[in-house]
Amino acid sequence: MLRGGARPDAFTLPLLNRAAASHSLPGLLGAAHCFGIRAGFGGDVYFCNTLLASYARRGAVAPARQVFDDMRERDMVSWTTLLSAYADTEDDTRELSQLVTAMRADGRCELGAVTLAVVLRACTASSRDAAGGRQLHCYAVKRGWAGDLLVLNSLLTHVSRTSGLGDADVLFERSPRRDTVSWNIMISGYSLEGNVLKVVNLYERTRAEDVCPTSLTLTAVVAAFAKHRFLQQGERLHSFAVRSGLMDTILVASFVDLYAKCGELLSSVQLFEEFEGESSCLWSAMMWAFIHHRMFLDVIHLFQRMMASFCFPNADLLRALVISYTEMEALRSGKATHGYIIRNNYAAESASCALETSLVKLYARCGDIHLAERCFSRILQKDLVSWSSMIEAFTIHGHGKKALKLFNQMLEGGIEPNRVTFLSLLSACSHSGLVTEARELFDCMIKKFRFEPELGHYTCMVDVLGRSGNLEEALQVIGNMKVKPDGRIWGGLLASCRMHSNSKLASFAA
């Protein structure tokens, strides 16, 4: 166009900005920005707004802020776009709060429905700022925006995630207007919580009030049915979804998961074969269905079939494959998969921590503790599961002191343990004969972290005390248990009595 002599106008360059933002070539958006300034569009609000949106889309907050600061005129779109950029990329809401204050002080723009929704999203996603959300709620009520569906749905999402579903339910019931999105937010929230009765109640109310359910509505209901193994209700919902034409790929994957968890694997396979496509979520659902039924060889065959159909795997699919190799103790195949993961840079994906943790378990299960430790050290954002998995790896390889050292590092990193972590640690103490450390851990679990010991914790304590010859103390632990002892814990005490030749206590244990 330029070679032909035509000059771009205020509508041409925004298209160039959007094209540059969608392209992966570095520097292209900056070049479009420079061209627009040289062409004299630096003062055009529409051009600057599209430039703001393009930088925001690329996650480049600093250049977006520079464009905003250089603008001579700003409208509601300018403020909202910059607020959205901060909401998507910043963990701290202070900068966002200062921008909102500056916007109101400017006097020419007032917070509208879209702006309120953006700021509420930031309060929900980043720091779970419940206080900020309450202030925005008050502002929305005072300004008459509380009845706007976009604001209402943003408030419902915020309140359900920060204050709880009880408060969200009150807001939902008091709202004079509700749309399908409002119902979906509440149904999805109760589905994640596992409250299947509330999910069913809300779904039946949507049908009674002639609210048209979407595939998202049905997906949330199916997820709740799968958790509680409600097969008949799921089958009825499946029939309704087919009749209504709502069977998209994600909903099909949910039904595959439902049937597998309810023991109807054949139905899962039939549904998968009927809807097989290029979506990775459907392949993933079928692979996890096979894992649920411990059919690990079928997982591997299905993965090979998927690769042959040119559907490339994501981190979740590769994790299912690694778990299958772990259960089969196929170290060589697991290493080959690990190489594929490294070559294709799957560590950059959001689900990479779970994938890398599965590799730690693979090497630990297959006897290579050094590779397990190396994989663990390369996990950038370690969560509780990854720490607990490495502690368990040290436990099964008899490195009790290393397990305890790692536990202390975990606490220093601000990660709080759960019951499974303590079970692994007590087991490590048992295998390594660390009696004093076991007593300290048991007391720490009860007094510091307020966990009620389960049968597994008591069994480990009886084992470690019995092995070290503290048989009376081990018997006292059994006597003080708040759960009923089983044959395993009495058998552990009996074995210790045999080891230390205490026939009287052995007779009692027997």
pLDDT at 92: 57
Whether the predicted pLDDT of 278 surpasses 70: no
pLDDT-derived band at 116 (thresholds 50, 70, 90) equals confident
pLDDT at 83: 86
Q: What is the pLDDT of residues 247-258, one digit of tens each?
A: 999 999 999 999
Instruction: State mean pLDDT over 339-360.
Output: 84
Distance between CA atoms of residues 342 and 70, nearest Å:
43
DSSP single-letter state for residue 107: S
Whether the predicted pLDDT of 126 surpasses 60: no
Domain boundaries defined on the chain: 313-381
* Numbers of helices and strands, H then E, in the chain: 30, 0
Question: How many CA atoms does the CB half-sphere of 21 hold within 13 Å?
Answer: 20
Amino acid at 169: D
Whether the CA torsion 218, 199, 119, 26 is positive or negative: it is negative
pLDDT at 256: 96
pLDDT at 111: 76
pLDDT-derived band at 109 (thresholds 50, 70, 90) equals confident
Q: Which two tokens stand for residue 300?
A: 């591997």
Whether the predicted pLDDT of 373 surpasses 90: yes
Question: How many CA atoms does the CB half-sphere of 73 hold within 13 Å?
Answer: 8
Q: What is the pLDDT of residues 411-447, one digit of tens each?
A: 999 999 999 999 999 999 988 889 999 999 999 999 9
pLDDT-derived band at 90 (thresholds 50, 70, 90) equals low
Q: What is the pLDDT of residues 404-414, one digit of tens each?
A: 999 999 999 99
pLDDT-derived band at 238 (thresholds 50, 70, 90) equals very high
Whether the predicted pLDDT of 159 surpasses 60: yes
pLDDT at 191: 93
Is 310 or 349 the better-scoring residue by pLDDT?
310
Whether the predicted pLDDT of 162 surpasses 90: no
pLDDT at 323: 97
Whether the predicted pLDDT of 275 surpasses 90: no
Segment among 140-144, 339-343, 393-397, 491-495 with least mean pLDDT: 140-144
